[in-house]
Chains A and B, each alone.
Chain A
Amino acid sequence: DAGVTQSPTHLIKTRGQQVTLRCSPKSGHDTVSWYQQALGQGPQFIFQYYEEEERQRGNFPDRFSGHQFPNYSSELNVNALLLGDSALYLCASSYRGIRTYEQYFGPGTRLTVT
């Protein structure tokens, strides 16, 4: 049973460029959440997707957008990259049918913006 997978593992982009990160949820899960974790900080919630719609959103600008596909996988897109977008981006999946929202995290994508 595969857990949450993310690609790519590492990514280096230039300021102003656009980036797409990908996530496949754990088998049986239908909800995907994205987090940004800056160095030395806890993960910050970006948004959550369920039934192919953005359900909740954290305090992130519109440059951050996402998508969920019918197979529950998800993408995170960041436009007009800033140096401050350098971080570890974590994807987490859960099953919305249970109230406790226990999440399983992927290994993350390390994004460096130069």
Chain B
Amino acid sequence: EVLLVESGGGPVQPGGSLRLACVGSGFPFSEYSLNWVRQAPGKGLEWLTHVGAGNYMWFADSVKGRFSASRDNAKNSIYLQMNSLRVDDTAVYFCTRDKYWASDYWGQGTLVTVSS
């Protein structure tokens, strides 16, 4: 069974930093690209970053320069480092597996709340 489990969310003050993690299991992790997607409360989905199987990365303009990503295939994990957080970064952050340029499996999400 394919599983993706996010962690690392929580409350943070504006301007602060947070590092999210996503652990995958049930599939050959190193062979797949993964994405981070977020959803603000009551809002729609927003793609943030693509972490390629070859360790290349693409970012949405909205987070370029503030967010970075990495992967550790030995730990079946990808990470999202979020800096200079703003109130409008408050959202549930999902990790997804990429297949056929779509997200075929999603984690349960981790909530990030940016507030003073």
**Is the pairing of A and B real?**
no
The interface of chain B, by Cβ under 8 A from chain A, is none
